[in-house]
Structure formats: C-alpha cells, structure tokens
Structure 1
Amino acid sequence: MSNQKEKLFTDFPPVSTEEWMEVITKDLKGADFQKKLVWKTNEGFNVNPFYRAENIEGLAQVTNLPGQFPYVRSTRKENVWYVRQDIDVKDYAEANKKALMLLEKGVTSLGFHLPKNNLSAENLALLLNGIAPEKVELNFRTCISKTDELARLVVAYLTSQNLDLLNCYGSIEYDPFRKILKKGVDVPNWIDDAVEMVKITAPLPRYRSLSVTGNLLNDAGAYSYQELGFSLSYGNQLLGALIEKGVAPSLAAKKIKFEFGVGSNYFMEIAKFRAARWLWAEIVNAYNPPCPPHITCDNTAEDGTCRCAAKMNIHASTSRFNQSLYDPYVNMLRTQTEAMSATIGAVDSLTVRPFDEAFETPTEFAERIAVNQQLLLKEEAHFDKVTDPASGSYYIETLTVSLAEQAWKLFLETEEKGFYEALKAGFVQDAVAASSQARFNAVANRKEILLGTNQYPNFTETMAEKITDPKDHSCGCGSVDKTELKPLVIRRLSEQFDALRLATEKSGKTPKVFMLTIGNLAMRLARSQFSSNFFACAGYRIIDNNGFPTVEEGVAAARNAGADVVVLCSSDDEYVEYAPKAFDLLKGGKEIFVVAGAPACMDELKAHGIEHFIHVRSNVYETLKAFNGKLL
C-alpha cells in the first residue's frame, strides 16, 4: 500500500512557493498582496493566506508526541477531558440532588461554589452523599477568607473515606489575586495563605489548590496573547513565592491550576492551549524541580528533574465576553466552536456556559444543552479518540509558535515588575481595558461581527420582559473592604447594542424605517438589505419594498406608512438625481432622510442639506445612538 501511495504522489510534480505566489499575484490583478490577503491579528503578528511544509521545518513540537515534555501536543496520551458543570450551593441537600442528576446525564466533573457562612463537616458530607470521589473530579470554591477552612474539611472528608487518594482528582480553589482583579482589593498576606493551602492539601496528591484565573482576563476582553502572557506571569509569581518559602518545587508546581476562557477565534484558541502548555513546561523546568524522594517515576529527566511537575493543568470555560442578550440561541453556536477549540487543544476539563446566562438564571433546559454540547463532541464526533489532531497542520503549528512568541514577550515585560506589582500598578488592568475598548470599537464599526447583535439581527425579537436578575456569584466578603486598586472591568461585548434595543423596547415606540428603493435593481436590493440590517440592530421596525417607478410614489408610500426614517436605496450614479428630489419632497415633515451608501456626489448632497449617510465605514453604534436620541 505504501508503495502505491509513493507512485501516486510521483504523478504530481512539486509546486514551489514562488510558483504559488506568481499565480496569486496574477489573480490579484495588481492589488497589494499584504493588504488583500495577509491578516493582521490583534495578537501582534501577521497570518498569511497559505502555509507550506517549509514553514514548520525545524520546529521541535512537530516531532513531539502527546504526553512528552514540553507537552505542546498534550500532557497525556489520550484526549479524555472532564465534562464539568458548576453548582451554586445554597441548600446542601438540593445541591446534592442536582449533582447526582448531572452525573446521570454524563457530567464527570463538578464545581461547587459554597457559601461561607455554614461550612461544616456535616454539610460537606451531605453535599457529597452518593458521589464517588475516585470516579468524579470534584472542585470547591468559597469566599477567599474561608478557603483554608474549606480545604481542611475536604481533606478530612476524603482521607476518612478509605479511598485510593491517587485516584481522587479535583481542586480547592484559592486565587490570591481574585479580589484585586474583581474588586480592586489587595490581599497583602497572599503568600502565607498560598503556602498554607499547599500544606493543607498536601495529603491529596491529585488535588490542585492554587488557581490562576486567566479566564477573568478573557471575560474582561483580553486578547489571547494577553490572557496567556499574564497568566504565565501569574503562575510564575505563585511558583517562585512558594519555593522561596521552602515549598518543594515539584509540590508547588503540582498544586497550581490554570483557568482559561475560550473565545470564538477558533484556530487561535487551539494554538493558545498548545502554546500555554509549552511555555509553562519551560518555566517550571527552569526551576529544576527534583522528583520527590523514594518515588519511582518513568517521567524523570536525566538530571533528576521531575517532568510531571511541568505539566500544566487546564480548566477552560467558554467566554462570557462574547455572549449576547439578543438572539441568545446564537450563543450555542459560539460555545460549540469554543468547546471544539478547547477539546482539540487538549484541555483537562471544560465548562460550557448555558446560552441564556446573559439574561436569566440558566434554566434546566439550557444547562442540559450545555452538557450535551460536550457529550456530542465525545460520543458522536469522537474528539476523545484523537489526541491533538492539529499536529502537523502548517497553519496551526505556525500559529502556535507565533502566539507563544508574543505571549513570551509580554511575560518577560510583566516579569520585570512581577505580576503582583504589575497588578498593584494597574499595568495588567490597563492593558486589558485597552484591548477591550478596541474590541468594542471594532464591534461598533462591524470590524468584529456578533451575529444577531451588530449584524443580521432578529428584526422582531424582544427581550426586555425576559430579563431577570442575574445570579450573584459574590460571597459578600469584600463588601466592607476599601477599594484601593484597579479592578478589571468585565462587560459583555454586545452590551452597547443591547442597550440600544432595550431603550427602543422600553420607550413604548418602535420607529419605522422605510426603504425607498428605486432605480438599479442590484444596487437597490443590496443597499436595502444593508440598511435593514443596520437599523434593525436598534430594534426599529423595517418596511422594505420591491421598488418604486418614481421618487414621488416612494415618498407618498413612506408617508402613508407613517415612516420615521426614509432610506433612499439606489445606485451612486442615480443618487445625483434621486436624493435631492426625495429630500425636497420630505422637507418640512417629521421623517429623517437617509442615503444608503457613500456616493462620489456626497459633498454635493451635503451642500443640498442632506445630513445622514450610512455605509460600510459608518460607526453603526454611534449612528444608531444618535438616531435613538432623535426618535425616542
């Protein structure tokens, strides 16, 4: 068979990169290759339209196998990840009932968010009744002031159950910088607390107790290289501090867990997880953590360095940042591609957020769908049967290296201050805020698309009555703390457009936008569709038409329809005649006249008194905000 393949390939002569470029240059007909086909990413590097074998020559990870240092491809040979679902515990018995139900439906990892006021051995036993810690990954979180108490309770419970603790996986999540990131409140004794958490959880060798919450950066709008670079510095700050306090390097590394968000930049997210494992492995390896004494390990380097310590443990959550309020079922499409990125990128566990989380406490249906999205990837797409299918892809391998280089630059820059000092100086928060604002601007200008929000909205959808108070994930422990530092500003990318539509709904008046279509058939149809999508983003009622033989008939129809906005849709050449005529006919009425497009005669039309033009270079959000001001 192999000989037949070799003969087959000889029938196709090799084509050089130069020959490809000659054909592409010819097809571009003089257009600039760099401007037309090269993608300038937000991560700070360019992506070419095609890659070839020569682009990955000499890359070490190409010959790296899954489970081998530096773990670019995976920290394990099989791509089996935990399907995680989180539970906000208010009533311990009810939470236990829900947990058992989730386990029956395919969940293999549970995350319990516990209240701080009634932690006890009895309540913990009630919560875990019927749950086998050797079969399910268990993760616990509570108020930072009570995390050590929770850790002692979990350790006491597990060690009293006659279990094989090497088969018990999970975490008790202490995040030393969460209060800074979320509330701007410093925790100056974080090093001592971190050391205490490591000591408390030492009897549980497979339990992580220190969380690096890069997902908070993701939810605040950070680009992938920022989430990765800052998270690595975050982890290194913890690792270095623990070692300085006398904690064994291998133990310290094995107690750190990374939490990342997953955005919708499909291939970039796959590359992010591959680069994360690679860079973290190199960071940990630089400390030369020795294997614990009296332990035989087949993953020890020749110099005695513990390679297992360099394995990054990753929990991924689909992003809150790009969840939309309107057309919420689109959130399922986003989270599905995000789940694919995470699982192809070989994360250890994954949480898919329910599609309705942006406007209500998730329903049982939404939570079930969120679980099923992962089960589809496992049971029907068989993603768990293939480890790192991206390996060898010229594009993804190159993307992994490029992203790793950018993240490493940021890591080194942050390390000059130290992550903790960078947080106190606001360096991290300012960098993420700048990226977030750039993304909000991109959405406002439709350079970044949110389907159902700033492009192709559901014209007749209403959401105001469906919004309920969102769940409160805070524990209240910081309510009396004085805010001294900058917190991250966590918003959803759709919020500005959501506000426009909600304002329209709540005003009690739905402005009518009338498409005065006339002239060139192709242009009037294209511009009518563009304008309909444009104004529907603010929740206006769209009145489209098949076309009018004269401007006079179009204006009369608009007035009969009670239009608030009249949009002239025609070709650039015809605007010279049609636009002034329509404007003059509407003069003195309540209607706002708009020209769809940016014709060459725009200056002449403006001189005639026409003010409003919408086109592909318009800031959609600012334009609609101005219309809301006039119409509502």
Structure 2
Amino acid sequence: MANQKERLLTEFAPISTQEWMDKITADLKGADFTKKLVWRTNEGFNVNPFYRREDLEGLTTPHVMPAEYPYVRSTRMDNDWLIRQDINVVDLSAANAKALDILGKGITSLGFKLKKDQINVESLSVLLKDIFPEAIELNFVCCISVAAKLAGVLTEYFAQQGADVAQCKGSIAFDPFKKQLVRGISNPQWVTHCKALLDASKGLPGFRVLTVNALNLSNAGAYIYQELGYALAWGAELLDKLTGEGYSIEEVTSRIKFVFGIGSNYFMEMAKFRAARWLWAEIVGAYGEQYRGQVAKIHQQAVTSTWNKTIFDAHVNLLRTQTEAMSASLAGVDSLTVQPFDITYQESDDFSERIARNQQLLLKEECHFDKVIDPAAGSYYVEYLTNSIAAEAWKLFLAVDEEGGFASAVEAGSVQQAINASNSKRHAAVAARKEIFLGTNQFPNFTEVAAGKIKVEDEGPHTCGCGEATIEKLNFSRGASDFEALRLSTERSGKEIKVFMLTIGNLAMRLARSQFSSNFFACAGYKVIDNLGFKTVQEGVDAALDAHADIIVLCSSDDEYAEFAPEAFKYLDGRTQFVVAGAPACMDDLKAIGINNFINVKSNVLETLRGFNQVLGIN
C-alpha cells in the first residue's frame, strides 16, 4: 500500500511545454504572449511566466552540495546567520548599557559607530565593559583615516583583558574606495592605507578589515547585476594589488568582508547572494587549485537597502524589510542587519529597533529559516535567475577589468556615472508608476502629514580635511524622494488643495476612474472630495464650486466624455482647473476646444502633479 502511494503521481500523464503554451495562448485570447507575460528585467535578461526542468539544460550553474566549491549553495553546513544591530556611540556608558541590553534580546553581532576621539583603550574599556569578545561578533565603523589606529587599540585592549584573540571575531569597516564613491575625492594612496591596516591588524586574526561595501551601490540605486559585478571587481582589485605587495592569497581573502544591500525583488535578491558565492569562489580559485577550498569562501553581510524606504506610510517599510530579510536569510548570508522602519526620518527609537530585531528572530524561532540550507536549490526559476544574474554580473566584471580594474574605474568616475544613470532611470520609473512604492506613488494615506516627524537633518558638506571633491560621486536620493518632496511642499505651503470628483454617467466607469483619480492626486497631498454621482454636469460643477475646489476631475466613460466634457468645460468657464480622467478616443476633439488636462495609467504622475503645484502657486 505504501509503495502504491509513493507512485501516485505516475497516474497522471506528463504535460509537455507545448501543451502548456497552447493552453496559455488560448487563455490570452489573441494577446501577444511575449508582451503580456514575459518580463524584461533591469538586469538585461527576460523572465518567463513559468519554468520547467528543460530550462535548466545548458545552464552553467554548478551542481554541487552545500559547502562544496564553488559554494553556490552555501559556504557551510548550516544556515545559522548572525543577527546584527549597530549602535551610534555618543555616550560611551550609555552605548555599553544598550549593548548589554540588546545582547539579552537576541543580538549575536554588535556594531559600534565610533568618533575619532573615542579610539583609545580607555574608551573601549568603558564601551565594552562586561562584553566578552570571544562570545560575540564585534564590528566597528569609524573614519577610514583612523582605521589602522583602531586596529592597534583593539589589539592592546584585548591583550589587557586577557582575551583569546584566536576566538575573537569581528570587523573594522575600512572601505578603501569610500572617498571616491561617496565623497568624490581622489584616493591614489589606497593601497598604502590597506597595507597599514593589514599590518596593524596582525594581532586580530579573526577580524575582517577590508570591506567591499556594495551596500553603498545598492543605496545609490544600482541594479542587482551592477551591485554584484562591481563588488566582484572591487574584491578582485584588493586581491590583485595586495598580493602584488607581498601578501598571500589567504592573508587577503581572510580579511575581506562583502557587505551587500537587499532590495525588494524577492527571488532575484536571493539569486544574487547565491551567484556572489559562486563567482567569488571562481575568482579566488583562478589563482590555482590549492585555493579552491576554505580560502575561496566569501563572507557576506547583508543590510536592508535604504533606496526603497519611504517617509510617508513608513510602516510599509516593515513589509519591505521583512521580505528582504527573508531573501537574505534563505540565501545563506553570514550576518544580517535589518534597518528600523523609521530610519528615513529620525534616529531610530527603542520600538523600531525592537521590531527590526524581532523580524529576524521570527525567521529563526518561528519560521525555522536557520534549519534548512539553501531551500531554493533545485527551483527551476531560482536556478535560472542565479545563472542569469551571474552571467550579467560577470560581463560587467570583465568590462571593469578591461578598463584597468575597479580602482581606475572609480578614479575615472565611470562606476559612479553608471550607477547614477541607473538611479535616474529608476526615478523615472517611479515617476510613471512603473516601479511602485505603496503609500507613496500608489495608494497613499490621504490624511497623513509627515513634516513634523522628520528629525534627520542633512549632514552637510564633509569637513574631515581629506581633500576636495574632483570626481562624480554617487547619488543617494531614495526612490521615493521626489514624491516626498512634492507632498511635503504641499504640506508646508499651508494651502489646502481640494480635488473634486465630478462623477457622472456609467456607474462602473465613474467609480473606477474616481478611485484612480483620488489615488493620483492624493500623492501630492491634496484633499480629495469623492462623490457617488451627479444627475447633470451643471449639478456637479456647482457642487464643486460650492466646495471651493481647486481642481475638478470629470469621471465617466469614454463614450460619454464626448458629451459631458465639453459641457462641463464650457459651464465651468475657467473658474478652476479642469481634468478628464482617462484617454478617450475623442481626446483630440476635446483638446481642440481647450481641454488639456488628462490623467490615465500612462501619465507621468510626478510631472503631472508638479505641474499642478506650479499652477496652484506651491513651490
């Protein structure tokens, strides 16, 4: 009986790909399959609506077990990642108290952001009091100009504490290309600085002190293949230059930490981390067979990206960070930082930090994501994505290599230019609602005001004396920033802009277009006045004027616009702004009589609303 149950699926006849295609084509009723269902990604390849085993034929993705070179599935035989939280150290004692508190709440990796004057043994003695360095991963962020000094101070502190440095794990976030990428400042001496840090870190064998900070690329709006391709070129540059200075492959790779951002594209982000393990192993393995073991394993920290986070309807950020945390943890990263949902507008508070911690704890304790290694393996879709992202990232890696390497590319500004161009394209997609930000450019909270809660101020120009900006730097404007600026300008103007829905005619069409228009104008912070319907155009216009409407939106069916629109426009006689919701066949005729404002699914929402703000005197 048991054997019969095991063979249950054999009772069903196999279905061929062609049979699936025939069924889908029939259901499309003449619509083009490619245009309707095939998705062209920003990464440069197509994604089909379904995948089968035959789609894996010819893919170069290695078929290996976890912890087997080239580690596409995992670098280890478990999936237990470290839960990291960073502390901005203002007061040393307060930071120590906070660190001890969150260690008791599930944190297994601590990060400290230090100021220059805090880098001494005395400060560390206060900051790390009662924290056992052998039991917790310790990570430090400081100005890159004092990173080597920090390594020496840490070594001295551990010696004073009698710590077993062989058991101490952590990192110093030294990014040798931060000056060029973030500040636009040339840094030709980066190799010298790396050497000084490596030498100062000899007493910290478990600390990774060279950071490939691809998080900055993600936060600047890079596409996934760009983030990965440039990160690989970055790591290869470190390997090439430092081995040329006499350091061994093992010495360099054991010191490199890759920090990636996590975006909201769930499966593609998962595939990115798998591809990163694979390609980095191939790069290290190219130095010889002897390097196709432990030394070729990448160390990945993942951080939820800020590019897709919003100020308005900020609790939606919780949904974004949750799916991002799922992508990274299922993909097998080594450590994970979930940024609090309020990071876009204030110094995070205890509540938002607790929720961010608990998001990871839930994935471990409730979902058991740490119990399964690479659960996506074998998925036709994820394997295809892994291969495709790897292929596009590898092309970019080779292109950077032909340009002279990553250092030359960032000094020339070509990396920054490419990513800024991607940022601009993504902003354009957000403006036209081709990329959706729930609560910002689609389905906004109509009544929300946000100016009062914004407490994070612009840092202003960098003044550490590290040089003048001569190179194009990365643009870190978030995807939602344009819509937020638009809505905040309305809010800060003190004006209450009223948009009146003149609904008339066909019930289904007027309701649908009223809902669309309400969401459209609410993105600018306008007050929307919706209506169930009017018997006549004159009745609707009179009601709008009685309500002191600044904009009247005619909502009806395409067929009825030929009658209703001219009548409403003539009766209104320029007393307020007039808009037609839709793109009716009679649009040219309506434009001929002076009706110029139309909104529909093809409208550039941002530019349209900016135009209304200008007309209505809002700067």
Tell me the TM-score normalized by structure 1: 0.95
| Aligned position for 2:476 | 490
- Work out the CA distance in 2 between the residues paired with 1:91 and 1:176: 28
Matched, 1:520 2:489: no
Identity %: 57
Tell me the equivalent position of 1:53: 53
Using the TM superposition, give the Cα deviation of residue 426 of structure 1 relative to its aligned residue in structure 2, in angstroms. 1.3
Q: 1:424 aligns with which of 408, 411, 414?
A: 411
Pairing of 1:547-566 with structure 2 (within 5 A): 547-566=533-552
How far did residue 179 of structure 1 move? 1.1
Picking from 425, 429, 433, the partner of 1:446 is 433
In the other structure, the counterpart of 1:620 is 605
Residue 80 of structure 2 is matched in structure 1 by: 80
| Structure 2: distance between partners of 1:184 and 1:549 | 62
Change (3 A) 1:626 1:434: same
Are 1:467 and 2:491 counterparts?
no
How far apart are 1:511 and its partner, in Å?
Answer: 0.5
Cα distance in structure 1, aligned partners of 2:65 and 2:445 = 47
Q: Is the 8 A contact 1:174 1:211 kept in 2?
A: yes
Aligned counterpart in structure 2 of residue 433 of structure 1, from 420, 436, 448: 420
What amino acid does structure 1 have at the position aligned with 2:492?
A: K
Q: Which residue of 2 aligns with 1:608?
A: 593
Deviations 1:66-109 (A, max 9, x none): 21111111111111111111111122111111111111111111
> Against the structure 1 CA distance between its residues 433 and 616, is the aligned structure 2 distance closer, same or farther, given a 3 Å change threshold?
same
Moved more, 421-430 or 219-228: 421-430
Q: 1:161 to 1:66 in 2, by over 3 A?
A: farther
Q: Deviations over 1:269-305 (max 9, x none)?
A: 00000001100000011122xxxxxxxxxxxxxx533
Amino acid at match of 1:532: S
CA distance in 2, matches of 1:114, 1:482: 24
1:328-407 equivalences under 5 Å are: 328-407=314-393
d(CA) in 1 for partners of 2:497 and 2:226? Answer: 42
Q: CA deviation at 1:6?
A: 4.2
In structure 1, the partner of 2:306 is 320
Deviation digits for residues 298-333 of structure 1 (CA, Å, limit 9, x no counterpart): xxxxx5335111111111110111111111101111
**Correspondence 1:502-581 to 2 at 5 A:** 502-581=488-567
- Output one character per residue of 1:357-381: Cα deviation in whole Å (capped at 9) or x when no partner: 1111111111111111111111111
Q: Does 1:409 align with 2:395?
A: yes
Cα distance between partner residues in 1 of 2:10 and 2:275: 36
Residues 204 and 475 (structure 1), Cα distance of their counterparts in 2 relative to 1, 3 Å cut:
farther
Residue pair 1:115, 1:475 contacting (<8 A) in 2 also: no
* SS at 2:116 equivalent: coil
Tell whether the 8 Å contact from 1:137 to 1:170 is kept in structure 2 after alignment: yes
* Cα separation, 1, equivalents of 2:349 and 2:561: 51
Give, in whole Å, the separation in 2 of the partners of 1:619 and 1:284.
46
What's the CA shift string for 1:186-237, capped at 9, x where partnerless? Answer: 2221112112222222333321010001010000000000000001001100
Matched, 1:598 2:558: no
Q: CA deviation at 1:10?
A: 1.1
Q: Which amino acid aligns with 1:276?
A: A
Greater Cα shift, 230-239 or 362-371: 362-371
Q: Within 2, Cα distance between the matches of 1:175 and 1:64?
A: 33
Q: AA paired with 2:171?
A: S
> What SS does structure 1 have at the residue aligned with 2:570?
helix
CA separation of 1:501 and 1:287: change in aligned 2, threshold 3 A:
same
Instruction: Read off the aligned partner of 1:434 and give its amino acid letter.
Output: A
Q: CA deviation at 1:62?
A: 6.4
Question: Once the 2 structures are TM-superposed, how far is the Cα of residue 559 of structure 1 from its aligned partner?
Answer: 1.0
CA displacement at 1:155 relative to structure 2: 2.0
Alpha carbons of 1:64 and 1:4: their partners in 2 closer, same or farther (altered >3 Å)? farther
Which amino acid letter does the alignment assign opposite residue 121 of structure 2?
A: A
CA–CA separation in structure 1 for the residues paired with 2:294 and 2:191: 24
What do residues 86-143 of structure 1 show as CA deviations (whole Å, max 9, x unaligned)?
Answer: 1111221111111111111111111111101232111112111111112211001211
Cα deviation 1:124-172 (Å, max 9, x = unaligned): 1211111111221100121111110001111222344344434321111
CA contact (8 A) 1:513 1:564 kept: yes
* 1:176 aligns to 2:176 (yes or no): yes
Give the distance between the partners of 1:306 and 1:45, measured in 2 at CA: 30
Change (3 A) 1:164 1:54: farther
Distance, in Å, in 2 between the alignment partners of 1:88 and 1:473 is 18
Comparing 239-248 and 306-315, the one that deviates more? 306-315
For residues 141-220 of structure 1, the aligned pairs below 5 Å read 141-220=141-220
Map of 1:296 onto structure 2: none
Residue by residue, what CA displacement relative to the aligned partner does 1:49-75 show, whole Å, maximum 9, x if unpaired?
Answer: 000011224656563112111111111
Q: How many residues align?
A: 616
Equivalent residue for 2:99? 99
Aligned-residue RMSD, C-alpha:
1.6
Structure 1 residues 29 and 450: alpha-carbon distance in aligned structure 2, compared to 1, 3 A threshold: same
Measured at CA, do residues 475 and 154 of structure 1 come closer, stay the same or move farther in structure 2, by a change above 3 Å?
A: farther
Give, in whole Å, the separation in 2 of the partners of 1:46 and 1:202. Answer: 47
- Structure 1, unaligned stretches of length 5 or more? 289-302
Tell me which amino acid in the other structure corresponds to 2:430: V
Q: Distance between the aligned counterparts of 1:35 and 1:99, measured in 2?
A: 53
Distance 1:471 1:171, change over 3 A: farther
Over 3 Å counting, the alpha-carbon distance change for 1:175 and 1:41 in structure 2 is: same
Once the two structures are superposed, what CA deviation does each residue of 1:558-597 show, in whole Å capped at 9, x if it has no partner? Answer: 11111110000000000000000000111141x1000000
The answer to whether the aligner puts 1:457 opposite 2:440 as a matched pair is no
Counterpart residue type for residue 427 of structure 1: S
Superposed CA offset, 1:527-573 (max 9, x none): 00000000000000000000111111111111111111000000000
